[in-house]
């Protein structure tokens, strides 16, 4: 029963979008390479190329590469669709992705034409992107405090405000956290990914198989953690970090904010802390800063002594983290997203 329920959880058959780079526009700046969470792009012959990393790790249509390209050289066509198995989603969405359509009756207009009718908050929501390109310039403490204050005033169940923050602006310490997270991620990959993919940045074998002991580990993880942490798109991103020694988990951001929650909190402390984090994210982008959620910080669970060194003590636990810094060039842009799923009940 368990095997059937979780049928095709591991690298299911999927239809991936097409990613194209226009040679006549691309200048080989590499911004798209640095912005791709799955590491699908590389610079070859001074041009950006889809390196077809692995057949099972393809474009997830986050469109960050499109947003950061100054030459508008990248286009993505199609959507990520899984036709069968646990991750089946080809029946969940009607049509393809669209740009924001906040004002009914004006769906055909470009976002720029609608912007004058939107509030400043709406503009930040639609234009915010996950930033992986940062200047080395440090964020002043007073600006960090403004962002933390926005989080402090987030709603929470019973107004229990379960959150606590650890702000790190020491580059050497952030690099140490990166190394430890990579160590933990490699252990996860050794139990869930074909070994040739764990050890290589680019495809050396198109369709290697899990070894017998890996299949046993994978089934154990399904039971202990559930399938949601084993989504193939998530595994693709984790494997990119493990396989590429130059990939920095926190993108060399000058500031890292770890979000903790009191496990004694009321209701869903994860949800409350996530709401708090989104307040912080929107405040940061409204101030001209960039952020990216990095929940791989959870990899520190394998290093209890190091966590205590950082100041993570019971009853608090790590929920997620945010990178924070000044973006390199234009990053926030309007992109396409899946169309709205809603049922009206009158």
The HSE-up count of residue 73 (CA atoms within 13 Å, CB side) is 20
d(CA 99, CA 110): 8
For the chain, domain boundaries: 141-169+254-325
Helices (H), ranges, 153-170? none
What is the chain's Cα-based Rg? 21
| Beta strand spans in the chain (E) | 18-21, 41-44, 47-50, 74-77, 163-168, 255-262, 290-293, 316-325
How far apart, in whole angstroms, are the C-alpha atoms of residue 270 and residue 319?
6
Task: Kindly indicate the confidence band of residue 1, based on its pLDDT and cuts at 50, 70 and 90.
Answer: very low
Summarize pLDDT for 92-136 with one digit per residue, the tens: 988 889 999 999 888 878 898 999 999 999 999 999 999 999 999
Listing DSSP states for 206-266 in one string gives SS----HHHHHHHHHHHHHH-GGGG-HHHHHHHHHHHH-TT--TTTT-SEEEEEEEETT-S
- Tell me the per-residue pLDDT of 25-69, one tens digit each, with 9 for 90 and over: 999 999 999 999 988 888 888 888 887 777 777 888 899 999 999
Average pLDDT over residues 202-206: 67
pLDDT digits (tens, 9 = 90+) for 241-271: 888 888 999 999 999 999 999 999 999 999 9
Measured CA to CA, the distance from residue 251 to residue 193 in angstroms comes to 24
- Tell me, what's the pLDDT at 126? 96
- Mean pLDDT on 129-150: 98
CATH: 3.40.640.10, 3.10.450.50, 3.40.109.10, 3.40.50.300. Which one for 141-169+254-325?
3.40.109.10
pLDDT computed for residue 3 by the predictor: 56
């Amino acid at each position: 029963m368990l095997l059937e329920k979780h049928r095709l959880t591991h690298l299911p058959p999927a239809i991936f979008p097409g990613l194209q780079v226009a040679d006549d526009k691309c200048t080989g700046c590499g911004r798209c390479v640095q912005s791709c969470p799955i590491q699908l792009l590389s610079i070859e012959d001074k041009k950006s190329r889809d390196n077809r990393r692995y057949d099972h790790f393809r474009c997830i249509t986050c469109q960050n590469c499109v947003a950061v390209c100054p030459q508008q050289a990248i286009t993505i066509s199609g959507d990520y669709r899984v036709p069968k198995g646990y991750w089946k989603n080809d029946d969940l969405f009607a049509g393809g992705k669209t740009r924001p359509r906040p004002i009914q009756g004006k769906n055909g207009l470009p976002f720029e034409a609608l912007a004058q009718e939107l509030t400043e908050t709406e503009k930040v929501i639609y234009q915010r992107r996950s930033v992986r390109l940062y200047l080395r310039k440090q964020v002043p403490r007073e600006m960090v405090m403004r962002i933390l204050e926005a989080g402090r005033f987030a709603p929470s169940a019973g107004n229990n405000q379960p959150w606590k923050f650890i702000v790190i602006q020491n580059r050497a310490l952030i690099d140490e956290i990166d190394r430890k997270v990579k160590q933990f991620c490699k252990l996860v990959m050794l139990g869930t990914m074909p070994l040739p993919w764990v050890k290589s940045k680019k495809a050396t074998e198109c369709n290697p198989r899990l070894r017998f002991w890996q299949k046993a580990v994978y089934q154990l993880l399904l039971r202990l953690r559930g399938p949601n942490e084993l989504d193939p798109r998530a595994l693709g991103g984790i494997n990119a970090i493990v396989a590429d020694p130059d990939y920095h988990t926190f993108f060399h951001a000058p500031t890292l904010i770890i979000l903790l929650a009191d496990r004694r909190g009321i209701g869903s402390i994860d949800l409350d802390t996530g709401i708090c984090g989104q307040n912080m994210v929107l405040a940061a982008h409204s101030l001209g800063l960039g952020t990216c959620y990095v929940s791989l910080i959870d990899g520190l669970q394998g290093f209890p002594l190091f966590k205590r060194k950082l100041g993570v003590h019971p009853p608090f636990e790590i929920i997620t983290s945010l990178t924070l810094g000044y973006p390199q060039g234009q990053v926030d842009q309007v992109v396409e997203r899946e169309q709205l799923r809603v049922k009206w009940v009158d």
